[in-house]
Structure 1
Amino acid sequence: MAPMSNAEVRARLTASLAELEHRLGSIKRDVTRSHSGDWAEQAQERENDEVEDAIGLETTQSIADTRAALARLDAGTYGHCERCGEPIGAARLEALPTAAHCVNCAD
């Protein structure tokens, strides 16, 4: 598999970042909406809020990972493992464009 060009990587990461930021905005709007006066509905809404909070945290981490990948691209270090310095495989970067570590160094 041929590696993606820097322009392709940047376009993919930028599109992903925009989608993640939109998703996070939607989650924040959902969490701040008013809740029902019914006790049973409030219990369900609290459960839903907990799920949305977890998704929000995951989305926030994905945004940070994407921004870090864009920073590595700008610095010229994208595609090289942050631990060992070896190239990250093209297939891994295709599957996970925010990867900062090669398969051997990944947690």
Structure 2
Amino acid sequence: MRDFSELKAILESRLEELDARVHDIEDRLDDPVSKDWEDQAVELEDFEVLEDLGKAGMKEMDLIRAALGRIEDGSYGECAKCGDDISIERLKAVPYAVLCRKCAK
């Protein structure tokens, strides 16, 4: 069994970072909207960007939680398609990868 403690620490750190970022985005989206129409238009565009960033962050958080679950159940680092080991290089690049390089193509 391979040791994934370094990757687990990276995943946990990234999860904390994303959680803080998503909460910050949620707080900013709750800010009151300006009464000026022009300012409102700009703010609404900003809100759309923030919403997209929040959704992307939440999706990555789900992927990270799934990867942490695989670490716990012992299936982390195993390709979900072919069952081969996912290379450590790939896991370092994409720590929540579920497919080996060959199957991801």
Compute the TM-score of the two structures, normalised by the length of structure 2: 0.93
Q: Structure 1 residue 86 and structure 2 residue 75: aligned?
A: no
Q: How does 1:1-107 map to 2 (within 5 A)?
A: 5-106=3-104
How many aligned residue pairs are there?
Answer: 104
Divergent runs of 4+, >6 A:
none
Compute the TM-score of the two structures, normalised by the length of structure 1: 0.92
2:102 aligned counterpart, secondary structure: coil
Q: Aligned equivalents of 1:75 and 1:84: distance in 2?
A: 18
Shift of 1:63: 0.2
The percent of aligned pairs where both chains have the same amino acid is: 37
Shift of 1:106: 1.9
Q: Please, which moves more after superposition, 20-29 or 6-15? A: 6-15
Letter in 2 for 1:7: S
Letter in 2 for 1:78: Y
Q: Aligned equivalents of 1:67 and 1:105: distance in 2?
A: 22
1:105 aligned counterpart, secondary structure: helix
Where does structure 1 lack aligned partners over 5 or more consecutive residues?
none
Shift of 1:83: 1.2
**Root-mean-square deviation (Å):** 1.3
Where does structure 2 lack aligned partners over 5 or more consecutive residues?
none
Relative contact order (C-alpha < 8 Å, sep 6+): which is higher?
1
Q: Aligned equivalents of 1:60 and 1:25: distance in 2?
A: 10
Letter in 2 for 1:38: D
